[in-house]
């Protein structure tokens, strides 16, 4: 749902709240942020962020200078209206040269400032690409800027200068994403509107239709629900719209089909938390069961549309992942919050209204009118139009879903439940390598991990990586052969019939000599069909995207020839219409994978991919090579002929 109705009193929740170094999270809270009557479980800090958000118009965004230590905080914009203030530049103070005998604190401060300078340079490159509408390149730069801080080894929590910079950086990048998404060209893909968002402005609440009211009342007598269900002209208006409007009906059908992916999980969590399981239909109003739904105007995100506020419920948001987009963790947060709202109001309809509008606003409406009843507040026009429509729309969706024959929903085929194995990672691993190791497609891995903001897991931050069901054992077995420091850039490949070493090297943009060395391929022990090879790759980027910076004289024809792709592919990946490439422009030379659940998560057994070029952050290749050769001395094995999870055979002699 639209999160424009955010109380200005809630704005101080955007605070400096960098928590443990292992995440530096900017935690999130529901849009209906609790007031004093329902305090959040975790207290936040008290200072606003140091940088204002860029303009929501497509006007030029000017790069900022490196952020000085303890820069004076600037006024914060209301989250109700989205980013609105033009970002301003701050002057970089002159830094004294570091002397040999300078105090440790002075040297540390200089080191921190040097890091900030590099981060800001990278961020400003992203802003330049953003202004040029090169959004893919902008995202590369923004990811690189965050990477510089997370991989610096410096105390990002204890050093206030770095803490300010990190929070400001994440906030500025998020604000630019909101602007781009609002215009339909965001870094993240657009998501289908939720059914209730489509219905707003279309539903009419005229005199009730006696025939429809009689029909629905008769159905309610045999409809089982653990949530109170009533019918009146407001509910009937939504039932009529979802039944008779082609667009309304199509969006409801699509929403209920997607619900199959998460229904068992959601109802289990609701049951475990002691709230009605039919609250699942609130997701119809919020997101249409889309884990990566994002409201461009307010910044609310995920299946349950949490706001990006610092606060509660252990939903972490950092440079690598945003747990608002994790279906299971966000559902746990939703269930706990709804349980608290019901404890406050003692009525599920008021609790739902408070979820949309905020409990403080609902409480004041009750005090002002004297009615602790949603329908009375509606009749007295005590709530905004969105909230007045919110509860009837959810009730209508629940009634229709529970009576599919009567409302043309009998032929709905729910999507298969999302099933997965889980491994805990505290190392960076590229999702392309994960796909290689599990014999899955990259899209499948991306779909299973919607909370990941980029193409790799975080380094030195615990993360539960989801794998296709039945693939955990083969993943762990194959992973042993790849040194931890190289998992963000190296690849894995099962040799196909007719492939040569040069073919494999060309496909992965690797070196045949290094593939031979790491896998002990010799004239006496040649490569054979079915062998499992570790593919060492020199990383050319820091965020898992394979890209190339054009030089003077380059054209799409010469670049396509160099990287073994077609000109048509380069045009598609980079949104280009001509073969001309400006010198200095960064372009994709492999298909950029969008981080969105665009495919079903049910796993299909497929061969290892060779067309996706790997490129991600890793340590320097050369120092790791000798150690990698030893650790990978037994890594060339015959691929298992059975399904994922079977043990591999011993090394081919």
- Rounded CA-CA distance 467/480 in Å is 16
pLDDT digits (tens, 9 = 90+) for 233-248: 899 999 999 998 999 9
CA separation for the pair 558, 547 (Å, rounded): 15
pLDDT of residue 48 exceeding 70, the answer is no
Angle subtended at Cα 252 by Cα 246 and Cα 258, rounded to the nearest 5 degrees? 135
199-237 pLDDT tens trace: 777 776 666 677 777 888 888 888 999 999 999 989 999
User: By the 8 A CB rule, do 427 and 618 touch?
Assistant: no
Question: What pLDDT is recorded for position 492?
Answer: 97
Q: What is the dihedral of CA 428, 431, 434, 439, to 10 degrees?
A: -170
- Segment holding 421, helix H or strand E: strand 421-425
The helices-and-strands tally (H runs, E runs) of the chain is: 22, 9
Q: Does residue 472 contact residue 34 with C-beta atoms inside 8 Å?
A: no
Distance of CA 641 to the CA centre of its chain: 35
CA distance 203 to 198: 10
Confidence of residue 197 (pLDDT cuts 50, 70, 90): confident
Question: Which of these ranges, 266-275, 332-341, 364-373, 604-613, has the smallest mean pLDDT?
Answer: 604-613
For residue range 160-186, list pLDDT tens digits in order.
888 888 888 887 887 776 566 545 455
pLDDT reading at 64 higher than 80: no
Nearest to 175 by CA among 291, 20, 49: 49
* Cβ atoms < 10 Å from Cβ of 41: 12
Across 224-337, the runs of DSSP E, i.e. the strands, are: 306-307
Token pair listed for 70: 């303890």
177's enclosing H/E stretch is helix 160-182
Question: Hunting for tokens 């699509």 — which residue is that?
Answer: 254
More confident residue, 148 or 245: 245
Q: Is 357 strand, coil or helix?
A: helix
* b (16+ CB within 10 A) / e for 77-92: bebbebbbbebeebee
pLDDT confidence band for 310 (50 / 70 / 90)? low
The span from the first CA to the last CA of the chain, in angstroms, equals: 61
pLDDT band at 275 (very low <50, low <70, confident <90, very high): very high
Q: Which residues does residue 30 pair with via DSSP β-bridges, in sequence order?
A: 306
Please give the Cα distance from 126 to 114 (Å, whole number).
Answer: 19
Higher-pLDDT residue of 205 and 319 is: 319
What are φ and ψ of residue 229, in 5° steps? -120, 125
> For a pLDDT cut of 90, what percent of the chain falls above it?
40
**pLDDT band (50, 70, 90) for residue 103:** low
SS3 per-residue string spanning 503-547: HHHHHHCCCHHHHHHHHCCCCCCCCCCCEEEEECCCCCCCCCCCE
Element holding 339 (H helix, E strand): helix 327-345
């Amino acid at each position: 749902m639209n999160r424009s109705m955010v109380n200005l009193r809630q704005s101080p929740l955007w605070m400096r709240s960098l928590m443990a170094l292992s995440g530096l999270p900017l935690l999130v809270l529901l849009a209906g942020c609790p007031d004093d009557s329902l305090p959040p479980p975790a207290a936040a800090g008290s200072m606003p962020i140091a940088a204002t958000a860029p303009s929501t118009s497509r006007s030029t965004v000017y790069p900022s200078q490196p952020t000085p230590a303890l820069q004076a905080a600037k006024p914060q914009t209301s989250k109700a209206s989205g980013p609105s203030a033009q970002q301003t530049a701050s002057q970089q103070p002159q830094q004294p040269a570091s002397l040999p005998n300078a105090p440790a604190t002075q040297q540390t401060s200089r080191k921190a400032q040097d890091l900030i300078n590099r981060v800001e340079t990278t961020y400003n490159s992203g802003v330049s690409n953003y202004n040029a509408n090169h959004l893919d390149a902008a995202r590369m730069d923004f990811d690189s800027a965050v990477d510089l801080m997370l991989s610096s080894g410096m105390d990002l929590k204890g050093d206030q200068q770095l803490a300010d910079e990190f929070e400001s950086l994440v906030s500025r990048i998020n604000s630019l994403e909101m602007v781009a998404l609002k215009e339909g060209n965001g870094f993240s893909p657009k998501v289908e509107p939720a059914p209730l968002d489509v219905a707003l402005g279309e539903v009419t609440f005229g005199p009730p239709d006696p025939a429809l009211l009689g029909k629905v009342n008769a159905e309610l007598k045999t409809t089982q629900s653990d949530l109170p269900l009533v019918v009146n002209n407001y509910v009937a208006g939504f039932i009529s719209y979802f039944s008779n409007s082609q667009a309304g009906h199509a969006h409801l059908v699509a929403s209920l089909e997607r619900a199959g992916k998460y229904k068992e999980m959601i109802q289990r969590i609701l049951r475990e938390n002691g709230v009605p399981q039919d609250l699942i239909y609130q997701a119809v109003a919020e997101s249409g069961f889309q884990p990566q739904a994002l409201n461009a105007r307010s910044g609310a995100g995920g299946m349950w549309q949490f706001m990006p506020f610092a606060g509660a419920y252990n939903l972490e948001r950092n440079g690598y992942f945003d747990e608002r987009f994790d279906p299971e963790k966000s559902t746990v947060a939703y269930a706990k919050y709804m349980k608290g709202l019901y404890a406050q109001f003692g009525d599920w309809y008021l609790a739902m209204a408070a979820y949309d509008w905020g409990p403080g606003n609902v409480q004041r409406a009750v005090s002002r009118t004297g009615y602790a009843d949603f329908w009375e507040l509606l009749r007295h026009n005590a709530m905004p139009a969105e909230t007045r429509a919110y509860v009837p729309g959810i009730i209508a969706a629940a009634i229709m879903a529970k009576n599919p024959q009567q409302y043309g929903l009998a032929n709905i085929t729910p999507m298969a439940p999302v099933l997965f194995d889980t491994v805990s990672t505290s190392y960076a691993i590229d999702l392309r390598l994960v796909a290689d190791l599990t014999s899955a497609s990259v899209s499948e891995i991306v779909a299973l991990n919607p909370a990941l903001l980029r193409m790799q897991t975080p380094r030195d931050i615990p993360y539960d990586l989801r794998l296709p069901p039945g693939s955990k054992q083969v993943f762990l077995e194959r992973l042993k052969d790849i040194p931890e420091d190289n998992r963000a850039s190296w690849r894995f490949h099962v040799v196909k019939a007719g492939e040569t070493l040069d073919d494999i090297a060309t496909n992965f943009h690797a070196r045949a000599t290094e593939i031979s060395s790491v896998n002990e391929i010799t004239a006496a022990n040649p490569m054979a069909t079915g062998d499992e090879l570790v593919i060492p790759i020199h990383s050319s980027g820091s965020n898992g995207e394979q890209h190339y910076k054009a030089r003077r004289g380059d054209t799409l024809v010469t670049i396509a020839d160099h990287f073994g792709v077609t000109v048509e592919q380069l045009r598609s990946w980079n949104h280009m219409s001509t073969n001309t490439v400006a010198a200095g422009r960064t372009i994709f030379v492999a298909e950029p994978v969008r981080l969105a659940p665009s495919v079903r998560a049910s796993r299909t057994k497929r061969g290892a991919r060779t067309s996706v070029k790997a490129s991600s952050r890793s340590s320097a290749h050369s120092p790791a090579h000798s150690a990698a050769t030893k650790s990978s001395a037994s890594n060339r094995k015959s691929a298992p002929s059975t399904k994922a999870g079977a043990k591999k055979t011993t090394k081919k002699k």
